[in-house]
Amino acid sequence: MVKDVEMAAGRDYHDPPPAPLIDSEELTQWSFYRALIAEFIATLLFLYVTVLTVIGYRVQTDPLKNTVDPDCGGVGILGIAWAFGGMIFILVYCTAGISGGHINPAVTFGLFLGRKVSLVRAVMYMVAQCLGAICGCGLVKGFQKSYYNTYGGGANELQDGFNKGTGLGAEIIGTFVLVYTVFSATDPKRNARDSHVPVLAPLPIGFAVFMVHLATIPITGTGINPARSFGAAVIYNKDKAWDDQWMFWVGPFIGAAIAAIYHQYILRAGAMKGLGSFRSNA
C-alpha cells in the first residue's frame, strides 16, 4: 500500500524546469526589482539586529562598563546564536514569497548552481545583499559609534589560537550545513512525496544558522554569509577584518557548491537522470 502511494506520488510529480542561465527579461519586470528591494531590506535588518546583539554582549561582559552586576555574563554565545538564527527564521518567513528569502550570497550561489535562479538574478541579489549589509552596519555605527569602534563592530575575524586552515574549514562545513538545509527544506519533490510531514521552511533554516553559530563562533565568529562579513568589514574598516576577509568568501562559496552538488546530483540523482536521458536519446 505504501509503495503504491509512493508510485502514485512519483507519477504526479514533475520537477520544475531549471532557471535559464541568463534571463534578460527579468530586468524588465517589477517583481524582479521588488525582490531586490526585499533582499536589501532583509539583509539590512539582519545585520542591524545581530551586530547590535554582538556589541551589546561585549559591553555587558566588559568589567569596566558592567558596574551594576559584575556577575552578569550578558546573553553569551547562546544568545548571539539565537539572534542570528532567529532573525534568519523571521526574515526568510517574511521574504520567501517575494525573493525566496536568500539574505546570503552563499545561499544565492548554491541555488544558482542548482539552477534555481538565473545568473542575472544571482548577481543582482548578491549586490543587494552586500549593500544591505553595509547599510545595516552603518546604522549600528551611527547609533552607537563609540561602542561600535571599541567592541569590534561585529566584524568576523579568525580568533586567536586557530590557524587559517581551521577557519576556512569551519566556514566550508558551516555553510554546507546551511545550504544543504535550504535545499532540503525547499525541495518540491519532498513536499509532494512527504505531504504528511509539514515543513515550515524558515524554521529548519533558522535552526541551521543557530547550530552552526554555536559551533563556530569561537573559531571565526561565524561568517557563513559573505555579505554579513563584508558589510561589517567595510564599516569597521580595520586591518585584521580585511586580512581575514578572503576566508569568509572562499569558505562559504565552496561549502555552498558542495551542498548544491550533493543535493542535486547525489540525493536527487540528477547525474543518473541526465545519464539516463542521454542513453534514451542515443
73 has pLDDT over 50: yes
Determine contact, residues 110/257, Cβ cutoff 8 Å: yes
- Whole-angstrom distance, CA of residue 229 vs CA of residue 222: 9
Domain membership flag for residue 18: no
Check residue 4 and give its pLDDT.
41
Check residue 278 and give its pLDDT.
40
Domain membership flag for residue 282: no
| pTM of the entire predicted model | 0.86
Task: Provide the CA 117 distance to its chain's centre, in angstroms.
Answer: 16
- Whole-angstrom distance, CA of residue 251 vs CA of residue 176: 9
Domain membership flag for residue 10: no
- Whole-angstrom distance, CA of residue 90 vs CA of residue 94: 6
Domain membership flag for residue 130: yes
pLDDT band at 24 (very low <50, low <70, confident <90, very high): confident
Domain membership flag for residue 5: no
Domain membership flag for residue 16: no
Check residue 3 and give its pLDDT.
45
Determine contact, residues 206/89, Cβ cutoff 8 Å: yes
pLDDT band at 270 (very low <50, low <70, confident <90, very high): low
Determine contact, residues 242/158, Cβ cutoff 8 Å: no
Check residue 70 and give its pLDDT.
54
By mean pLDDT, which of 18-22, 158-162, 278-282 is the weakest?
A: 278-282
Check residue 277 and give its pLDDT.
45
Determine contact, residues 102/94, Cβ cutoff 8 Å: no
Domain residues for 165?
Answer: 25-271
Output the average pLDDT for the chain.
86
- Whole-angstrom distance, CA of residue 203 vs CA of residue 190: 16
Check residue 69 and give its pLDDT.
57
Q: pLDDT, tens digit, for every residue of 240-261?
A: 889 999 999 999 999 999 999 9
Check residue 2 and give its pLDDT.
42
222 has pLDDT over 90: yes
Domain membership flag for residue 183: yes
Domain membership flag for residue 72: yes
CB within 8 Å of 206: residues ≥ 6 apart = 85, 86, 88, 89, 90, 92
Tally of domains within the chain: 1
Check residue 267 and give its pLDDT.
85
Q: pLDDT, tens digit, for every residue of 115-153?
A: 899 999 999 999 999 999 999 999 999 998 889 988 989
The x, y and z cell numbers of residue 148, run together, are 561600535
Whichever domain contains 171, its CATH number is: 1.20.1080.10
- Provide the percentage of residues in the chain whose pLDDT is more than 90: 63
Determine contact, residues 182/107, Cβ cutoff 8 Å: yes
